[in-house]
Structure 1
Amino acid sequence: MKNLYVNVALPVPVNKLFTYIVPDELRDDVAVGKRVIVPFGEQELTGIIVEVSTQSGWHRLKEIKDVLDQVPAFSEEMLKLTKWVADYYLASWGEVLKTALPAGTVLESRSIVRLRRQLEPEVLSNMEKSSPKKAEVLKFLISQNSPVAIKTLKNKFHFKNIYSILHSLESLGYVEIERYLPEQKAKIKFEKFVSISKSYADNSKKLTQVIEELEKTSPKQVEILLFLLARLKKGESEVLLSDLLRVTGASMQTVKKLAERGLIEIYKKEAIRKFEYEFDEPDKKFELNEYQKKALIEIKKAIDSESFKTFLLYGVTGSGKTQIYIEAIKEIIKLGKTAIVLVPEISLTPQIVNRFKKSFGDIVGVLHSRMSIGERYDSWRMIKNGVYKIVIGPRSAIFAPLDRIGLIVVDEEQESSYKQFDLPPRYNARDVAIMRGRINNAVVILGSATPSLESYYNAKLGKYHLLVLPERVDNAKLPKIEVVDMIKERKEHANKTSISTLLTQKIDERISRGEGIIIFQNRRGYSTYIECQDCGYVEMCDNCSVTLIFHKAGNHLRCHYCGFVKSVPEKCRRCGGIKLKLKGVGTQRVEDEVAQIFSSAKIIRMDLDTTMGKKSYDKIMQRFANGEADILLGTQMVAKGLDFSRVTLVGVISADIPMLIPDFRSSERTFQLLTQVAGRAGRSEKEGEVIIQTFQPDHYIFNYVVEHKTLEFYERELKIRKELNYPPFTRLILIEFKGRNEKNVELASDEFAKELRSKVHLPVQILGPAPAAIPKINQNYRYHIIMKIPKNVDKTGGEIARIIWQLKEKFEVKLNSKGVKLIIDVDPQNTV
């Protein structure tokens, strides 16, 4: 019998597959797409089989340890998609596959170290002289007085040869290393049920006789049987054991006695954990207008042709894009196909899920990070098993294991939250959606009132088919927008609050009429910094190059990057002065000021501080939808996607904040944000109004926002981007170096850049290395190299990718030894 080999993709940052031999007892279990446990260095990892073969050029291969799945976790289509993501975003295939699996299903062996015997002080003293690193590790283990994870030792000492040290100590008999594989966190949940045994359930006379016999001796048993009998008559053949015990007050021992007598049956059944939203809103009757009908006809043609096509659905705020998504998906469901609907923020999910469930019922499933591991695992399995035909969620939902995908919707496609920026793979779900549509010959709809410049440019070139919804539904009008000059406000009205005289007047009018108000401030906390009035010193984070934000609730200063917290100082750290002043405005301060001006107003604040709970979004939105508050105040969470017909006024406190970010997309993002938040007003027969406050009223952005001239703004921005050689005319690759020793980071980035320039012989612009706009985050110094690649150069990206992978492999070991981490971000959404 020939040997059987498997190529396995592992979740490690290496651009290669790993070959293992299959032991005879597992030959019948292996298949492409299944998860396997394999040895890898000092540990065991979960990998995915991507190829099975009877030939291999490798010798002395290790065996796979186990096969975790009965059926493959990944289809051929998903393997193809994840391979594309890996190649395009310069991540390992295994890292992408791990991202596509639900949390808690990728296992990694853990190693702990324990002392085997106590050391004499003299032995430890001698070791400190001859082997100081070994002595350091032993002293730490002694101080802990319990087993310690190797991961903890790595983080504590940063020794590049920690395993060598531990193996040496193990051979000397001082420690022992224990390795184990934890249980899979994501598991199927079972619950116990109780029912009357079939022979008695089918024979009421026989059951009545038994009950009469038990009445005198075992009244509690009779109570249980009568309870089950009553439920049976209502058509409920089984009852949760926990419910039975709670209602009857019986003990488990009593229930077991009935089971032993054969009167009842106790058995386990799988329980599906569902994430239920606590948000509901009244049904709305929708009648498509002529523009919606025209758009839907075009989309339906593409659906019927069963060929890949991407639409850019550009519709002003309130133009009924969601209803078009619903009508298009109805066509998909008729054809026996499935659909994915991506939303940019979890906060938008409750409202859109509510609307889809009212249209499609129980075939709608959700996937997002606010779900528990169990809820997410059950939802993933129900998607894979075909129970859910429509999946809604933020970016990771693009990897939902659906078969026969016919339509993918990316709502608010311009949002940067579709880009994963913190962990590899650093993919953009919008672009992955387009590729998944291509692989499945499916239709893709990119919807937005403010499309990204890249998508608008692709529509101009004809790569995307442009559909336009120029009017709001139900004859609602676009809101009237006014810009308030806050410098003038301060001079003329001596107003020291963040609420202008005009906005105050407009809020008062709406409260008196019982209408809803949204106030937007894109900074949380109370004040954005604290400054010494004597010397100008500003309190900075100890770990990051950013100011500390004052939070009134805890009366402390907090860093919004690393979470560092410190008490409010009584005097200046630099000059000792006591004239410290809170400056800048956050949502907490706005809330206080509004409450002082409008003492009878009911205010709800929605920002990261108030939405930490699992269903906080739902509860806040439901309260506002029910009219339990006059004012909804918040950060970007309130700026887009929300649709409340009672809202007639939107106030923007500080329109300047996004413009101050040193990024080439700042103007675009500011325009999009202001247009989106303005669009929350007047989405019914009541006319809406928007007040935008700024210290830069002459900035060109405001003319376009006030006049609702979106496409004209884009044409201007395209000219600027072309002159500066930025996307959509080029592709960007950001290469970041970070570490705790700034000199090491700087030297590493210089050396890498020098070699990169020597290897790249294409007309590519390489900028840097230079310190990042925020040079230090969480005690890590950051240096950036930016590559600008013209669209007509290296069209597949293969040549540049090959060079970067080569350099990454060449430099990585050296960089790790210097404590420097290398990060590659293709098509970055943030260059700060």
Structure 2
Amino acid sequence: MYLRVSLPNSKTISVDADFPFDTSPLGYRVLINNTTGIVTGIATAGERQEVEFPDYKPVTTVQHIEAVRFVAKAYGLIPNLLLFELLPSEFLWRKTTVVSYTGKTPSFLDKKVLEVIEYVRSRGKMEKDKLVEKFGKDIVDKLLRMGFLKEEDLWKAPNLKVKFYSLGVSFEEALRRIGRLRKKEERLTLIAYLKDRVVSSEELSEIGVPRSVLRDLVKRGIVREEVGYVSAIRSQIKLLRQPSVELLRPLGKNSVVYGSLKKLQDMLTSLTHRNLSDERSTFVFCPSLELLSGLEDTLGSLFGERLKVISSKERPKDLVQSWFSLDEPCVLLGSQKSLLAPVKNLGTIVYFGPPDGRMHNGISYLTFLFRYSKLVGADLVVFNSVPNLYLYMAIKDGTFQGMDLSYTAQVFVLKRRGENLIDEGLKRLVDPNKSTLLLVNKAGYAYAYCERCAEICQCPVCGKMLSLSKDGSRVFCASCGYKTSVCPKCDSPVRPLGFGVEKVLEEVQETWKNLKDFDVRAMPSFWKEYEQVLVLNVDNILSVASFEAREKLFSYLFTALSVAKERLIVQTFYPEEVVFQALMKKDPKIFLEEELLERKEENLPPFTRLIVAYYKDTFDERYLIPIRKLVHWMRTVKTGSLKQVYLCVPHRNSPQVLAHVRRYKPIRLYVY
């Protein structure tokens, strides 16, 4: 049979191979030329090659392959590169040479040679490259020639253990120890995040925790590090129970459901239960591991073994087992690793969480799932605290159906006066006996504000807002670790603006000494409810020169409203802003309508596509000449050692422009 096989190096080859099964070969994994390939088509001719088909089922489907091709083209990518980026590493086998002890009795050999033989014998089999690295090529080749060792080629899957982190001491003790340190801003943010939680290294990377901070706290014993898999430390699954609500009304083919977190979770479990009753599967996708962990307990208590979890937190063996057990009706809960999973009888695809989630190459998860749902004939339902502008426009034009489940908490918007963090009005509203989430959109002590540039300083490496240490000597990025002492744009001195987690913890401990059940976070967590949520510092989102600033504030506040069970209390200098007016009336349409109108007038997303590429400062702007006629406008800004290129592009031209932009290998790429 002539097969087209896609390879990880972006090439596609045609081979003549004996396919061992009576089904279509598309989607099957192939071991060929010392690497792993995927059968993505049928060829008319091909070279005869020795191949292996290690799986009795395909690792993905024709619909997934078509979705990858469509999305790759739309984002200017090579389809094969995207295909293998989405395929879990557990399936990317490679051929390696291993050596083992033959059993031949060693005699009259020197001490070093005997050490090598014993080293290999005690380990059974080991990779030749690693043995050569440890003892040298000459001695390994000598033992192979003498017959004490033998070598063979084996296919090897990667070893994928995960590191997990939790507090090694009590939260109060962690605060006490960190309080004695000089550089404590990033450390306090991490401690607040780890309170009562166990998280993976990948999850900490998602929220931008610097590795140096993590290593330091582990070394001091404040944070505990464990190497293993989530299965070994996951909490016990509760007894199965039935969902408590039924669907309010049938959902459309494509739907956006928004409101309070509890109502969203109830709607999700009801929808999933109905699918299982109809012998249909549900795929629940989460754009972050934090959301996935929160949903796992909820869905696990309902569906038991019918819940399959595919993420980087699972053992490779468990992941592969779940991957090939999706034939029967089930609930698949997954992160990016699950996007190619071959789910059968798929009734509904659920996107749970903020709809702006993206892969590192700029591709929107929702774009991929939308295309895949059309190909497989499944419903697509987005669950979030609130729709973003793209989804709201899709609701207005009839592409999606909107369903407002409403919000349960009371909303109090307080006008801030002066630089006081906690005023008397806030003190009167807070009940110290209730579970509380304190939100401070800031790591560290304060933002670094440049009066010469008249804006908060932005990181030249990752674009995030920069923090200022308490003593004013350090300007740093809590996301990527960048450090300086002045404004990175103009080298002017900076001053503090606002306040951060460190200052909040100081004030909270002073104001509410009996406030025990509380979390402090920079961003609202869309997986856990609190009786009261306090937004202490959020105006700084509007201080960033970005067309998205108001929408980011809108999403932040309505997510806080979604996780608040009883009351949401917000402090702001700008209560008259339309975002806060929409919040007080608990009506997101008030903001969405006005923002959509302004974006249309200014020809900004979602009416056009904005591409932002970061290059080294050696990037020559003449490279952009061939695409000038394809864009509305372009602008280049030099920040530190980087050049930021902004391109406003009509939707129809974005694939061609993106392909050109990627040709020059940007350090980072954002597509809006």
Compute the TM-score of the two structures, normalised by the length of structure 1. 0.58
How far apart are the structure 2 equivalents of 1:633 and 1:284?
A: 32
Task: Select 1:86's aligned residue among 72, 77, 80.
Answer: 72
Task: Select 1:401's aligned residue among 335, 339, 342.
Answer: 342
Return closer, same or farther for 1:110/1:186 CA change in 2, 3 Å cut-off.
closer
Q: Partner letter of residue 738 of structure 1?
A: Y
Task: Select 1:642's aligned residue among 521, 528, 536.
Answer: 528
1:656 counterpart = 2:539? yes
Q: CA deviation at 1:670?
A: 0.9
1:516 counterpart = 2:460? no
Structure 2: gaps spanning 5 or more residues? 98-131, 135-152, 162-228
Q: Partner letter of residue 390 of structure 2?
A: E
How far apart are the structure 2 equivalents of 1:68 and 1:187?
A: 20
How far apart are the structure 2 equivalents of 1:7 and 1:71?
A: 18
Partner of 1:365: 308
Partner of 1:183: 156
Return closer, same or farther for 1:108/1:674 CA change in 2, 3 Å cut-off.
same
* 3-state SS, counterpart of residue 651 of structure 1: strand
Q: CA deviation at 1:280?
A: 7.8
How far apart are the structure 2 equivalents of 1:541 and 1:453?
A: 26
* 3-state SS, counterpart of residue 729 of structure 1: coil
Partner of 1:389: 330
Task: Select 1:427's aligned residue among 363, 366, 371.
Answer: 363
Partner of 2:588: 710
Task: Select 2:424's aligned residue among 491, 501, 504.
Answer: 501
Deviations 1:605-660 (A, max 9, x none): xxxxxxxxxxxxxxxxxxxxxxxx2x22112243x34224xx1x221111213223
Asked whether the 8 Å contact 1:523–1:585 carries over to 2, the reply is: yes
Return closer, same or farther for 1:550/1:468 CA change in 2, 3 Å cut-off.
closer
Task: Select 2:622's aligned residue among 712, 731, 750.
Answer: 750
Q: CA deviation at 1:768?
A: 1.2
How far apart are the structure 2 equivalents of 1:718 and 1:391?
A: 35
1:11 counterpart = 2:8? yes
1:481 counterpart = 2:481? no
Structure 1: gaps spanning 5 or more residues? 112-145, 149-179, 189-271, 303-308, 603-628
How far apart are the structure 1 equivalents of 2:290 and 2:394?
A: 29
Q: Partner letter of residue 635 of structure 1?
A: A
Q: Partner letter of residue 75 of structure 1?
A: T
Residue-pair matches, total: 548
Q: Partner letter of residue 28 of structure 2?
A: K
Return closer, same or farther for 1:542/1:101 CA change in 2, 3 Å cut-off.
closer
Return closer, same or farther for 1:655/1:52 CA change in 2, 3 Å cut-off.
same
Partner of 2:62: 76
Q: CA deviation at 1:374?
A: 4.8
Q: CA deviation at 1:720?
A: 0.9
- 1:184-333 aligned within 5 A: 184-185=157-158, 274=231, 277-278=234-235, 288=245, 293-295=247-249, 298-299=250-251, 309-314=253-258, 316-317=259-260, 320-333=263-276
Q: Partner letter of residue 281 of structure 2?
A: T
Q: CA deviation at 1:310?
A: 0.8
* 3-state SS, counterpart of residue 455 of structure 1: helix
How far apart are the structure 1 equivalents of 2:436 and 2:606?
A: 37
Q: CA deviation at 1:518?
A: 1.3
1:410 counterpart = 2:288? no
Asked whether the 8 Å contact 1:520–1:633 carries over to 2, the reply is: yes
Return closer, same or farther for 1:803/1:502 CA change in 2, 3 Å cut-off.
closer
After superposing the two structures, state which structure 1 stretch, 432-441 or 101-110, moved more.
Answer: 101-110
Q: CA deviation at 1:452?
A: 1.4
Q: Partner letter of residue 10 of structure 1?
A: L
How far apart are the structure 1 equivalents of 2:303 and 2:52?
A: 40
Asked whether the 8 Å contact 1:277–1:350 carries over to 2, the reply is: no
Asked whether the 8 Å contact 2:414–2:425 carries over to 1, the reply is: no
How far apart are the structure 2 equivalents of 1:464 and 1:518?
A: 33
Q: CA deviation at 1:456?
A: 1.6
How far apart are the structure 2 equivalents of 1:281 and 1:69?
A: 34
How far apart are the structure 2 equivalents of 1:674 and 1:547?
A: 19
Return closer, same or farther for 1:600/1:280 CA change in 2, 3 Å cut-off.
farther
Asked whether the 8 Å contact 1:733–1:824 carries over to 2, the reply is: no
Partner of 2:292: 349
Asked whether the 8 Å contact 1:738–1:782 carries over to 2, the reply is: yes
Return closer, same or farther for 1:802/1:45 CA change in 2, 3 Å cut-off.
farther
Return closer, same or farther for 1:526/1:377 CA change in 2, 3 Å cut-off.
farther
Q: CA deviation at 1:735?
A: 5.9
How far apart are the structure 1 equivalents of 2:76 and 2:25?
A: 26
Q: Partner letter of residue 409 of structure 1?
A: V
Return closer, same or farther for 1:375/1:546 CA change in 2, 3 Å cut-off.
same
Deviations 1:97-150 (A, max 9, x none): 223322232246899xxxxxxxxxxxxxxxxxxxxxxxxxxxxxxxxxx979xx
Partner of 2:548: 665
Q: CA deviation at 1:349?
A: 2.9
Asked whether the 8 Å contact 1:187–1:374 carries over to 2, the reply is: no
Q: CA deviation at 1:689?
A: 2.8
Asked whether the 8 Å contact 1:100–1:400 carries over to 2, the reply is: no
Deviations 1:394-439 (A, max 9, x none): 4543433211111112223x442x221x23xx32222322222222
Task: Select 1:592's aligned residue among 485, 506, 510.
Answer: 506
Return closer, same or farther for 1:427/1:547 CA change in 2, 3 Å cut-off.
closer
Return closer, same or farther for 1:670/1:652 CA change in 2, 3 Å cut-off.
same
- 1:705-744 aligned within 5 A: 705-730=583-608, 732=609, 734=611, 736=613, 738-739=615-616, 742=617, 744=618
How far apart are the structure 1 equivalents of 2:426 and 2:317?
A: 46
Partner of 2:392: 456
RMSD: 4.3
* 3-state SS, counterpart of residue 158 of structure 2: coil
Q: Partner letter of residue 768 of structure 1?
A: M
After superposing the two structures, state which structure 1 stretch, 73-82 or 514-523, moved more.
Answer: 73-82
Asked whether the 8 Å contact 2:283–2:331 carries over to 1, the reply is: yes
Return closer, same or farther for 1:786/1:442 CA change in 2, 3 Å cut-off.
same
* 3-state SS, counterpart of residue 445 of structure 1: strand
Deviations 1:134-176 (A, max 9, x none): xxxxxxxxxxxx979xxxxxxxxxxxxxxxxxxxxxxxxxxxx
How far apart are the structure 2 equivalents of 1:537 and 1:652?
A: 22
* 3-state SS, counterpart of residue 433 of structure 1: helix
After superposing the two structures, state which structure 1 stretch, 711-720 or 277-286, moved more.
Answer: 277-286
Partner of 1:33: 27
How far apart are the structure 1 equivalents of 2:553 and 2:270?
A: 32
Q: CA deviation at 1:581?
A: 7.2
Return closer, same or farther for 1:317/1:279 CA change in 2, 3 Å cut-off.
farther
Return closer, same or farther for 1:438/1:502 CA change in 2, 3 Å cut-off.
same
Q: CA deviation at 1:339?
A: 0.5
Deviations 1:515-555 (A, max 9, x none): 12111112223444499x9xx99999796777754678xx9
Return closer, same or farther for 1:541/1:780 CA change in 2, 3 Å cut-off.
same
Asked whether the 8 Å contact 2:59–2:341 carries over to 1, the reply is: no
How far apart are the structure 1 equivalents of 2:600 and 2:263?
A: 33
How far apart are the structure 2 equivalents of 1:449 and 1:544?
A: 27
* 3-state SS, counterpart of residue 653 of structure 1: strand
Q: Partner letter of residue 477 of structure 2?
A: C
Compute the TM-score of the two structures, normalised by the length of structure 2. 0.70
